[in-house]
C-alpha cells in the first residue's frame, strides 16, 4: 500500500511538473519597454520580424521603469515579464539584488561584437540614447549652446523642463557650474561635489517644471509651457517627424547612456527571452531600429550599415559625441539609491 501511494504521489508530481513546463512553454513571450516612439520602433525592428520568424506571439508592455514591479514578481516567484528594458542605474542595483539573471553569453552573442559599454553581467545594451538640451526653434530665436545657458534665466527667461530625478540633473548642474564633462564624475564622487550640484539645482528650482514621461518635453515645448527642456533625443526627433514641429537639439554636453535588456530572475520563458535579446541586438534589427528612431546601435556591425543622414541624429556618431559625457554605470550603481533619496527630499522642500 505504501509503495502504491508513493508511486501515485510521484505520478501526480510528474504530471504537475509537466503541466507547469507546458504552461511556461505555451505562454506568450512578454517584452517590456518604455513605450512611446521607442516602443513603436521596437515593434517595427524587433517584435514583428521575430514574431514572423518564430511563428509565436510576442506581447509588448509599456512601463515607466518601475523596478518595484520586477522585485514583487521575483520575490513572489510569479514572473510574467520575460525581457525587460531598464536604465543603467536600475541595471546595477537590480543585478546586485538578484532581480536579474546573469546572462549566458553563449546564448546571446560574442562580446566583442558590441560596444564596450553594452556588455554587463546581467544585461546587454539595447541602444544608445542621450539626454539633451532641447528648445523650440519657432519661439526661441537665440539658440542656447550649453547647460550654462539653460541656467541663465536672465538671457533666456521662462520655465525649464527637467526630468524628476537625480540622475543626469546632477551632471547637468555641475557642467552648468563650469565642470568639464570629463571631470564630472570625479567631482560628483566627493561630498563637496554633491553639495555643489544640489546648490546649483537650487538656483534653478523656481523655474523648473518637472516631467516624468519621455513624451512630456516635446509637448511642453510645443505648447510653450517651457522655454527649454532636458529631453530624450529620440523623442525630439520623433516629435518633429510626426507632428511637424521645429524642436532643436543641442548636442554639446549631452549625457549619453544605454538602455539594457535584462531577464527577471525566475522567468519561465528564459530561453525564449534569450532568443529575443539575441535577435534584437543583431546587426540587421539594430540598424532597422536606428532608422526608425534616433537612438544608436550597440552592435558595431550595425553602425556600419547606416548612412550619414541617419548617423547625424544619433548620440554615438563621431560629431555628436565630441563634447559628450557617458553616464557612469559604476557611479550610479554605487550611489544611485542615496542620491535619489536625497533628490526626493530636496524636491519636496
The CATH number given to 129-257+321-347 is 3.40.190.10
Q: Which residues of 211-245 are buried (b: 16+ CB within 10 A; e: fewer)?
A: beebbbbbbbbbeebbbbbbbbbbbbbbbbeeeeb
Asked if 94 and 70 touch (Cβ cutoff 8 Å), the reply is yes
The rounded distance, in Å, linking the Cα atoms of 28 and 180 is: 48
For the chain, the domains span 2-127+258-311, 129-257+321-347
Q: Which residue has the cell 561635489?
A: 193
Q: Is 76 exposed, middle or buried (0-12, 13-18, 19+ CB in 10 A)?
A: exposed
Q: How far is CA 32 from CA 11, 42, 238, in A?
A: 37, 10, 20
Q: Which residue has the cell 540633473?
A: 169
Predicted pLDDT of residue 242: 86
Q: What is the mean pLDDT of each run of 10 residues along the chain (349 residues)?
A: 38 36 64 92 97 95 94 97 93 93 97 96 97 96 96 97 96 98 98 98 98 94 97 91 92 96 97 98 97 94 93 88 91 91 96
Predicted pLDDT of residue 21: 39
The rounded distance, in Å, linking the Cα atoms of 162 and 175 is: 15
Whole-structure pTM over 0.85, yes or no? no
Strand 228-232 and strand 124-136: the pairing is antiparallel
Predicted pLDDT of residue 7: 37
Q: Which residue has the cell 538671457?
A: 155
The rounded distance, in Å, linking the Cα atoms of 116 and 167 is: 21
Taking alpha carbons only, the member of 232, 258, 327 closest to residue 118 is 258
Q: How far is CA 125 from CA 103, 106, 211, 325, in A?
A: 12, 16, 25, 17
CATH fit for domain 2-127+258-311, picks 3.40.980.10, 1.10.1740.10, 3.40.50.1000, 3.40.190.10: 3.40.190.10
The rounded distance, in Å, linking the Cα atoms of 275 and 303 is: 22
Predicted pLDDT of residue 347: 96
Amino acid at each position: 500500500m505504501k509503495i502504491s501511494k508513493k508511486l501515485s504521489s510521484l505520478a501526480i508530481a510528474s504530471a504537475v511538473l509537466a503541466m507547469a513546463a507546458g504552461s511556461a512553454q505555451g505562454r506568450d513571450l512578454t517584452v517590456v519597454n518604455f513605450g512611446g516612439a521607442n516602443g513603436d520602433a521596437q515593434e517595427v525592428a524587433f517584435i514583428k520580424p521575430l514574431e514572423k520568424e518564430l511563428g509565436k506571439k510576442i506581447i509588448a508592455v509599456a512601463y515607466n521603469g518601475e523596478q518595484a514591479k520586477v522585485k514583487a514578481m521575483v520575490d513572489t516567484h510569479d514572473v510574467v515579464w520575460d525581457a525587460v528594458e531598464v536604465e543603467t542605474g536600475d541595471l546595477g542595483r537590480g543585478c546586485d539584488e538578484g532581480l536579474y539573471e546573469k546572462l549566458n553569453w553563449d546564448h546571446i552573442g560574442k562580446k566583442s561584437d558590441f560596444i564596450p559599454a553594452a556588455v554587463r553581467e546581467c544585461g546587454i545594451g539595447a541602444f544608445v540614447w542621450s539626454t539633451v538640451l532641447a528648445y523650440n526653434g519657432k519661439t526661441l530665436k537665440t539658440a542656447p549652446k550649453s547647460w550654462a545657458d539653460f541656467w541663465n534665466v536672465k538671457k533666456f527667461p521662462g520655465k525649464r523642463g527637467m526630468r524628476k530625478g537625480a540622475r543626469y540633473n546632477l551632471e547637468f548642474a555641475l557642467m552648468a557650474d563650469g565642470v568639464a564633462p570629463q571631470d564630472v564624475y570625479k567631482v560628483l564622487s566627493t561630498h563637496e561635489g554633491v553639495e555643489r550640484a544640489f546648490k546649483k539645482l537650487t538656483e534653478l528650482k523656481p523655474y523648473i517644471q518637472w516631467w516624468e514621461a519621455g513624451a512630456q518635453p516635446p509637448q511642453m515645448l510645443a505648447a510653450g509651457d517651457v522655454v527649454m527642456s532636458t529631453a530624450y533625443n529620440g523623442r525630439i526627433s520623433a516629435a518633429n517627424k510626426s507632428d511637424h514641429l521645429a524642436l532643436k537639439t543641442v548636442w554639446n554636453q549631452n549625457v549619453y547612456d544605454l538602455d539594457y535588456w535584462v531577464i527577471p530572475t525566475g522567468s519561465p520563458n528564459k530561453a525564449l527571452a534569450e532568443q529575443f535579446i539575441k535577435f534584437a541586438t543583431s546587426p540587421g534589427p539594430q540598424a532597422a531600429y536606428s532608422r526608425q528612431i534616433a537612438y544608436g546601435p550597440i552592435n558595431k556591425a550595425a553602425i556600419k550599415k547606416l548612412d550619414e543622414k541617419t548617423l547625424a541624429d544619433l548620440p554615438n556618431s563621431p560629431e555628436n559625441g565630441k563634447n559628450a559625457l557617458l553616464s557612469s554605470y559604476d557611479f550610479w550603481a554605487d550611489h544611485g539609491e542615496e542620491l535619489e533619496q536625497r533628490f526626493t527630499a530636496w524636491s519636496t522642500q
